[in-house]
A and B are shown apart, each in its own frame.
Chain A
Amino acid sequence: MLFRTVARQAAPLRRQAFAPITRRSVTTDAASAHAENIPKEDDKPFTVRLSDESFETYELDPPPYTLETTKKELKQMYHDMVSIRRMEMAADRLYKEKKIRGFCHLSTGQEAVAVGIEHAINRMDKIITAYRCHGFALMRGGTVKSIIGELLGRREGIAYGKGGSMHMFAENFYGGNGIVGAQVPVGAGLAFAQQYNEQPNTSIILYGDGASNQGQVFEAFNMAKLWNLPALFGCENNKYGMGTSAARSSALTEYYKRGQYIPGIKVNGMDVLATKAAVQYGKNYAISGNGPLVFEYVTYRYGGHSMSDPGTTYRSREEIQRMRSTNDPIAGLKQKMLEWGVTSEEELKGIDKEARAYVDAEVSEAEQMVAPENSSRNLFEDIYVRGSEPKWMRGRTVDETFYY
Chain B
Amino acid sequence: MVAPRVFRPAARLLSSRLSTPLRPAFTQTACAPSILRARGYASEAISGVKEVTVRDALNEALAEELEANQKTFILGEEVAQYNGAYKVTRGLLDRFGEKRVIDTPITEAGFCGIAVGAALAGLHPICEFMTFNFAMQAIDQIINSAAKTHYMSGGIQPCNVTFRGPNGFAAGVAAQHSQDYSAWYGSIPGLKVVSPWSSEDAKGLLKAAIRDPNPVVVLENELMYGQAFPMSEAAQKNDFVIPIGKAKIERPGSDLTIVSVSRCVGQSLAAASELKQKFGVDAEVINLRSIKPLDVETIIASLKKTGRLMVVESGYPMYGVASEIMALSMEYGFDYLTAPAARVTGAEVPTPYAQGLEDMAFPQNDTIVKQAAKILRL
Do the two chains belong together in a single complex?
yes
Which residues of A line the B interface, CB within 8 A? 1-4, 7, 126, 128, 157-163, 167, 169, 174-179, 182-194, 196-197, 215-216, 219-220, 222-223, 226, 381-393, 398-399, 401, 403-404
B279 at the interface (CB under 8 A from A): no
- List B contacts of A398 (CB < 8 A): 2-3, 5, 331-332
A3 to B245, CA, bound (A): 33
Q: In the complex, which of the residues B6, B8, B117 contacts A189, with contact meaning CB atoms closer than 8 Å?
A: B117
- List B contacts of A162 (CB < 8 A): 151-154
Contact status B134-A1, CB under 8 Å: yes
The count of chain B contact residues (Cβ–Cβ below 8 Å) is 66
Tell me the residues in window 196-237 of chain B with beta carbons closer than 8 Å to chain A beta carbons.
212-214
Question: Provided the pairs A162-B154, A383-B189, A392-B10 are in contact, do residues A192 and B173 lie with their beta carbons within 8 angstroms?
Answer: no
Q: In the complex, which of the residues B20, B85, B111, B214 contacts A223, with contact meaning CB atoms closer than 8 Å?
A: B111
Among A190, A386, A390, which residue has the most Cβ atoms of chain B within 10 A?
Answer: A390
Q: Count A/B pairs, Cβ under 8 Å.
A: 192
B48 at the interface (CB under 8 A from A): no
Question: Provided the pairs A182-B140, A184-B113, A223-B114 are in contact, do residues A383 and B120 lie with their beta carbons within 8 angstroms?
Answer: no
Contact status A182-B17, CB under 8 Å: no
Contact status A222-B120, CB under 8 Å: no
- List A contacts of B104 (CB < 8 A): 223
Chain B 112-124 per-residue mask, 1 if CB under 8 angstroms from chain A, else 0:
1111111111110
Q: In the complex, which of the residues A160, A167, A390 contacts B245, with contact meaning CB atoms closer than 8 Å?
A: A390
Contact status B150-A382, CB under 8 Å: yes
Closest CB in chain B relative to A146 CB, distance in Å = 10
Chain B 253-297 per-residue mask, 1 if CB under 8 angstroms from chain A, else 0:
000000000000000000000000000000000000000110000
Contact status A190-B118, CB under 8 Å: yes
Contact status B119-A222, CB under 8 Å: no
Contact status A223-B105, CB under 8 Å: yes
Q: Which residue of chain B lies nearest to A2 when distances are taken between CB atoms in the complex?
A: B177
**Can you show 19 pairs from A to B with CB atoms below 8 A apart?**
A2-B85, A158-B154, A167-B152, A169-B149, A169-B152, A176-B152, A179-B145, A182-B141, A185-B110, A185-B141, A188-B110, A189-B114, A189-B115, A189-B119, A189-B121, A196-B118, A226-B105, A382-B155, A390-B192
Q: In the complex, which of the residues A4, A196, A216, A384 contacts B113, with contact meaning CB atoms closer than 8 Å?
A: A216
B144 at the interface (CB under 8 A from A): yes
Closest CB in chain B relative to A300 CB, distance in Å = 29
Contact status A193-B154, CB under 8 Å: no
Question: Provided the pairs A177-B145, A383-B151 are in contact, do residues A193 and B122 lie with their beta carbons within 8 angstroms?
Answer: yes
Q: Which residue of chain A lies nearest to B150 when distances are taken between CB atoms in the complex?
A: A382
- List B contacts of A177 (CB < 8 A): 145
Contact status A196-B73, CB under 8 Å: yes
A116 to B213, CA, bound (A): 35
Closest CB in chain B relative to A163 CB, distance in Å = 4
Contact status A388-B173, CB under 8 Å: no
Contact status B114-A188, CB under 8 Å: yes
A196 to B245, CA, bound (A): 32
Question: Provided the pairs A186-B120, A193-B122, A403-B8 are in contact, do residues A387 and B105 lie with their beta carbons within 8 angstroms?
Answer: no
Contact status B150-A2, CB under 8 Å: no
Closest CB in chain A relative to B221 CB, distance in Å = 15
A1 to B105, CA, bound (A): 14
